[in-house]
């Protein structure tokens, strides 16, 4: 624990000497980075030891929960059938199998650049407790076990060589209890687990119901101190411009530690001369101290605060899964446009295989997104929201875990963005007759935006025609054959 204690002293000193203090009042002076508000599109990466069984990123939890009916029975049965008893082969035994022998960070970075992403967020540490970076605080990290290389550091270098912004995430909070089921079984998680071990601490969940989830007031101080030191170590070693936190950081016991981390990180950002910020879920952070994130979900209207939607390229998993159910590219692009129209940023997750290769299907989807952004990106990058996010009969279901609940978009659904005196109207589904009618832009509409000087349809081979009447703005364009959204550029005087 000496290294952790030494690190805590450094953290306290940086906060004492810096602009930001560990209070909400001080942290509310934080500003959302300009680069982030302009970037709009990033890539999330769930890659780790859990990619070896390729059965879901929560494998290290559910494999030890045979009596849990929704997931546990399924995962436990799979593990026993494929790897044997939990006593003889536990989660830690996957670590030597995680070799990343084909990992090519330069190739990854090239793909993300081609996909049109402006920032990239690999997971530094997931709930399983294995660090994908070079840590001085634990032996269970990628430079000392498994790949035997600094997976995070190598990717950061490759990204920045291509002018992509490096960001990262920590999901360690839930490690507190993540694999605790192993204590109730004849497994490799038994007895006194030493500090620093992959399984430490594996405490029993300190709550009984979902209603209690946010109100855990006391946690083991050694774990909280270790969490703070580990997270600040990521900041100091890799200088990410965003640090994303998954769930459970919103518990009462974490609040003062989140305040300390934010103050430390924001002060370090000032030292580096970089604009940095935090992504958080639920009520982990106070309003205006960081950027809220909605997991696998969106908003139903424009938010006055910049926000983020993180979702996965697959409906059933965040990591590589042998049985992944991939989304349609059209749906992903529509969600991107919808999020941007509501003052948000879109973070799309992929899941590489254990050997470091990205599945062919994911590569194909990313390239198709990149092709679309190459043509239509001027209405996305550096844009802002307009008076109204859009129009149409298809409604977005608001909240976390709603990304598969909406109905397909129709030819009557549009989303708006604005930049440099130009209004961009995205037709989420192009009509078969080649004519769109936008009611919001009608002459008698309360949102009528002045004189429409000219209209372009990006990608229309023969140009377009338009007519403004009292009921709608009509735009005709021939030769457009695509399942993806079409961008209409409206010049206004």
pLDDT in tens, 14-28: 999 999 999 999 999
Distance CA 488, CA 493 (A): 16
Where do the H-state alpha helices sit in 311-404? 329-341, 360-376
Query: What percent helix, strand, coil does the chain show, rounded to 5?
Result: 35, 20, 50
Distance CA 385, CA 409 (A): 20
Give per-residue pLDDT as tens, 292-344.
Answer: 999 999 999 999 999 999 999 999 999 999 999 999 999 999 999 999 999 99
**Residues 413 and 394 sit within 8 Å (Cβ to Cβ):** yes
Do 390-492 and 2-295 have the same topology in CATH?
no
Give per-residue pLDDT as tens, 93-106.
Answer: 999 999 999 999 99
Give per-residue pLDDT as tens, 150-187.
Answer: 999 999 999 999 999 999 999 999 999 999 999 999 99
Position 237 scores a pLDDT of 98
The ranges assigned to domains in the chain are: 2-295, 390-492
Average pLDDT, whole number, for the chain?
96
**Domain 390-492, CATH among 3.30.70.20, 3.40.190.10, 2.60.40.1180, 3.40.50.300:** 2.60.40.1180
- pLDDT band for position 210 (cuts 50, 70, 90): low
- pTM for the model stands at 0.97
Give per-residue pLDDT as tens, 259-302.
Answer: 999 999 999 999 999 999 999 999 999 999 999 999 999 999 99
For the domain spanning 2-295, the CATH number is 3.20.20.80
Distance CA 394, CA 378 (A): 25
**Residues 185 and 86 sit within 8 Å (Cβ to Cβ):** yes
């Amino acid at each position: 624990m000496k290294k952790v204690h030494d690190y805590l002293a450094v953290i306290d000193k940086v906060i004492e000497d810096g602009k930001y203090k560990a209070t909400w009042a001080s942290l509310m002076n934080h500003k959302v980075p300009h680069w982030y508000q302009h970037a709009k599109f990033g890539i999330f990466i769930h890659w780790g030891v859990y990619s070896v069984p390729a059965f879901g990123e929560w494998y290290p939890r559910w494999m030890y929960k045979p009596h849990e009916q929704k997931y546990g029975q399924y995962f436990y049965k799979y593990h026993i059938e494929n790897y044997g008893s939990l006593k003889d082969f536990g989660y830690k035994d996957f670590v030597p199998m995680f070799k990343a022998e084909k990992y090519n960070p330069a190739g990854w970075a090239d793909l993300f650049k081609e996909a049109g992403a402006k920032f990239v967020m690999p997971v530094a540490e997931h709930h399983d407790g294995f660090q994908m970076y070079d840590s001085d605080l634990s032996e269970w990290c990628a430079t000392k076990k498994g790949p035997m290389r600094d997976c995070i550091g190598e990717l950061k270098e490759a990204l920045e060589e291509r002018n992509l912004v490096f960001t990262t995430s920590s999901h360690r909070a839930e490690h507190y209890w993540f694999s605790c089921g192993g204590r109730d079984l004849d497994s490799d998680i038994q007895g006194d687990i030493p500090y620093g071990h992959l399984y430490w601490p594996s405490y029993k969940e300190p709550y009984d119901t979902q209603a209690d989830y946010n109100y855990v007031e006391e946690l083991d101080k050694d774990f909280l101190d270790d969490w703070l030191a580990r997270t600040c170590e990521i900041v100091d070693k890799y200088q990410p411009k965003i640090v994303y936190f998954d769930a459970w950081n919103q518990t009462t016991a974490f609040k003062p530690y989140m305040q300390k981390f934010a103050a430390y990180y924001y002060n370090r950002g000032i030292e580096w001369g970089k604009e940095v910020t935090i992504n958080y879920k639920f009520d982990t952070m106070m309003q205006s101290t960081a950027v809220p994130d909605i997991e696998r979900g969106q908003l139903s209207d424009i938010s006055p605060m910049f926000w983020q939607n993180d979702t996965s390229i697959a409906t059933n998993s965040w990591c590589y899964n042998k049985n992944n159910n991939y989304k349609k590219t059209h749906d992903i692009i529509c969600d991107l446009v919808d999020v941007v129209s509501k003052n948000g940023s879109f973070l799309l997750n992929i899941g590489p295989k254990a050997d470091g290769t990205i599945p062919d299907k994911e590569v194909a989807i990313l390239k198709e997104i990149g092709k679309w952004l190459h043509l239509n990106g001027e209405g996305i990058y550096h844009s802002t929201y307009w008076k109204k996010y859009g129009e149409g009969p298809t409604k977005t279901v608001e909240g976390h875990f709603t990304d598969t609940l909406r109905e397909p978009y129709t030819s009557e659904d549009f989303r708006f963005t604005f930049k440099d005196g130009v209004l961009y109207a995205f037709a989420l589904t192009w009509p078969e007759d080649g004519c769109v009618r936008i009611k919001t832009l009608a002459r008698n509409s309360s949102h009528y935006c002045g004189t429409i000087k000219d209209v372009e349809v990006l990608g229309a081979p023969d140009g377009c025609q338009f007519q403004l009447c009292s009921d709608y703005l009509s735009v005709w364009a021939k030769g457009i054959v695509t399942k993806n959204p079409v961008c209409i550029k409206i010049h206004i005087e």
